[in-house]
Structure 1
Amino acid sequence: MRHRAPGTLDHMDNLIALVTGANKGIGKDIARQLAAAGHTVYVGSRDAGRGRQAVADIDGDARLLVLDVTSAEGIAAAAEQVPLLDILVNNAGISSVDPRPVTEEHPDTFRRIYETNVFGVVAVTNAFLPALRRSARPRIVNISSGAASLAASTGQAEGIIAFASGPTGALGAYRSSKTALNELTVLYANALTDDGFKVNALAPGARRTDLNGPARVSSRAGDPAEGAAGAVRLALLPDDGPTGGFFSWDGTPVPW
């Protein structure tokens, strides 16, 4: 693995990326697109077998990194294997198919979803910060959701964001976890801006993935690769690119 001196990195270089939850869905497409662009990609996967299959499916320099974002020991062990990192994509996430309103959602559902979608992001990001600080231009992309938008929740958003969420009381655990992730994105961006980091959140749009049961059969849901392209764009931002933002897959800002 090649180490670079500060100031020598540009987008023609081989960057080193980690994508969590990359054995399927949007995460796998993010890893695939980064590898296709000539970058080294660690395919983060909780399940080693599924991770190995994903690596085999990806053309380019893809490497398995067994990583359970809810395991402190597993995160520490994974971080020891990656001395240098340019890009961290916090993609691993879970949802709930329980259609009941938040007034009937069990607190254990919140605990389970927050463990991955919120606490897991903090744990992974902090564990890999030393490796990211060795990069000339570190980038962090948090995969959020249009469902995180408070504007959408109050009926003030339109289009795909409204389709992904809308003014309903359902899926409170998932939606609030992604709203919390958005706030974490801003906090990390503020804390790391003087170190040259770009930290942004992406709403990939409703995609045909296992995460979203209804979207898998909806004619309005799109190809996961299209959402992944938005994450790759944020992962490869130039030095004058934004930080602390919330963007749709097509690059337009999403209302908080």
Structure 2
Amino acid sequence: MRNCFVFFSFCWAFSTFFALRAFSEALPIGGSTQIERGVFAFFHLGQKSPDFDFWVKSGQRYKELPESDKEDFLINETIRLGSGYGQFDPKKDVLHIETIVQVHYTPPVGDQPARIFFQFPEQDDEYIPTFSYPYGHNEWVSLIVNRLAFFADISLKQEHYEVIKEKLPEPNNNYDALITIDVRPTNADHSAPIKIGTMSQWIMIGDIAYMKCEFKSNETDSMVQLWDFVAPWYAEEYKLKNLPEDLKYPHPFDLKK
């Protein structure tokens, strides 16, 4: 699992930004990657179009091509990225993020409820997690997720605590886990990037639509869900997305009624 995630850390002012590339790097065939969708979202929020020529030419694939192949590649990639940008709807689409964290829980003490926590690797007190999307040479779009810290420390009702205790047998013990977040981008700062050395970091902010925490069970070798959250404003859309395919669309006989 870890080879799907690359972690970068850097400092800015008095805060630590932890830039997480938490996306599959599989190359698209006609479609768009999650990384590209993050860039689409940033430019849509500013009602601007990406510089596709700059974007493609900054990529390693373009740089490694023989000169004779570069023009065709540039044309094809510009068409593909332009199509993806045109199809992306910032009012409807979400960005899908998966990243590794550590979780632990504490039992109830007196009148204090049990709690479950998660934290990112190398996290400290001056820490703001960001999820980064490379755009061009030394340029990144970095997503900050609203209220993410709220889910890092959750109180548990007794019935939920009993379930957690069965899945994670040792309290106060760190377990590797996977956080999945679907984020709807809401704001982007197009005025100027944050300069960190030679790198330019453009800031985008988004709201959590859906989030879940899972860990891999040693007994079953499968992912086990610890908790999840669906934002009230996303509930209907989430329900529709998770319907069986045969229930998502009206039956032909229903159309005749």
TM-score scaled by structure 2? Answer: 0.29
Of structures 1 and 2, the larger Rg is shown by: 2
TM-score scaled by structure 1? Answer: 0.29
Whose helix fraction is larger, Structure 1's or Structure 2's? 1
Whose strand fraction is larger, Structure 1's or Structure 2's? 2
